[in-house]
Amino acid sequence: MAKSATLRSSADDSFLTGQLLIAMPAMGDDRFTQTVIYVCAHTPDGAMGLVLNRPVTKPTFAELLSQLKIDPRPPNRQIAMYAGGPVDDGRGFVLHTADWTSEGSLLVDESVALTASLDVLQAIAEGAGPRACVLALGYAGWGPGQLDREIQDNTWLSVNADETLLFDANHGTKWRRALAKLNVDPLLLSPVAGHA
């Protein structure tokens, strides 16, 4: 995990920043089938998000702390770990509530932040840090205009994020629950985009 230089906000970058992307049933990329992705940043230069429903079992959180030479002290916390996406999958990103931030945190909106520096893991290992968080290894990235084209091609739906979908460990139902926020039955979704 690398240390960023400044605390900044991406909330004004685009309408999809802070939203959840829900993969359509006809998703052609197996890496994203039935995924729910939190969009951390969406600008004219591209987009970055974290998959929130692909759990990682190895390494465990305790093993990761050990590899990073962070010594957990009681009351040590466990946090859910996910395969955040295919880009830079050796790098960790902690998505968390904005009640805790550090110099290198990115404020996604008023309630959610993203930190990729070791200080957040140190705080969590000490039983402190943000109230709710998940750790993603890697991220999903899109080049300029790519995510917009994929949405126009009916690859993704978007919906407002909520704390339960972001931070609960019930990853097996997250895709269906995200669709339910839109009152959408996945069996009724068409793989063909309509254009006027």
Give pLDDT tens digits for 10-38: 444 457 999 999 999 888 899 999 999 99
Q: Where are the beta strands (DSSP E) in the chain?
A: 8-9, 19-23, 36-43, 46-51, 80-83, 87-97, 106-107, 112-115, 133-142, 156-160
Give the helix/strand (H/E) hosting 111. none
Output the pLDDT for position 185. Answer: 75
Cβ-based burial of 37 (10 A; exposed 0-12, middle 13-18, buried ≥19):
buried
Predicted confidence at residue 31, as pLDDT, reads 93
Q: CB within 8 A of 143, min separation 6: which ones?
A: 46
Burial class of residue 93 (count of CB atoms within 10 Å of its CB; 0-12, 13-18, 19+): buried
Is there a domain that residue 195 lies in? no
3 within a domain of the structure (yes/no): no
What is the chain's percent helix, strand, coil content, to nearest 5? 20, 30, 50
Output the CA torsion sign for 143, 42, 133, 186. negative
The single-letter code of the amino acid at 61 is F
Instruction: Tell me the pTM.
Output: 0.86
- The pLDDT tens digits of the residues spanning 103-138 come to 989 999 999 999 999 999 999 988 889 999 999 999
88 lies in some domain: yes
pLDDT score recorded for residue 53? 97
Closest alpha carbon to 165 in 179, 154, 151? 179
Q: Which of 68, 32, 24, 30 is nearest to 49 (CA)?
A: 32
192 vs 154 pLDDT, higher one: 154
Report pLDDT for 59: 86
- Supply the pLDDT for residue 126: 87
Q: Classify residue 196: in a domain, yes or no.
A: no
The pLDDT, as a whole number, for residue 49 is 98
Rounded Cα distance between 56 and 8, Å, is 29
Give percent above pLDDT 70 in the chain. 86
Tokens 């126009």, residue? 152
In a domain, residue 106? The reply is yes
- Lowest-confidence range among 11-15, 113-117, 161-165, 180-184? 11-15
- pLDDT of 63 > 90? The answer is no
Query: Is residue 54 a part of any domain in this protein?
Result: yes
Mean pLDDT, rounded, of the chain: 86
Q: Which two tokens stand for residue 103?
A: 């110099």
- Per-residue pLDDT for 81 more than 80? yes
Q: How many structural domains does the chain have?
A: 1
Q: Specify the CATH number for the domain of residue 55.
A: 3.40.1740.10
Task: Kindly tell me if the per-residue pLDDT of 86 is higher than 90.
Answer: yes
Domain holding 145, by residue range, is: 8-188
Q: Does the pLDDT of residue 188 top 70, yes or no?
A: no
- For residue 1, being part of any structural domain is answered with no
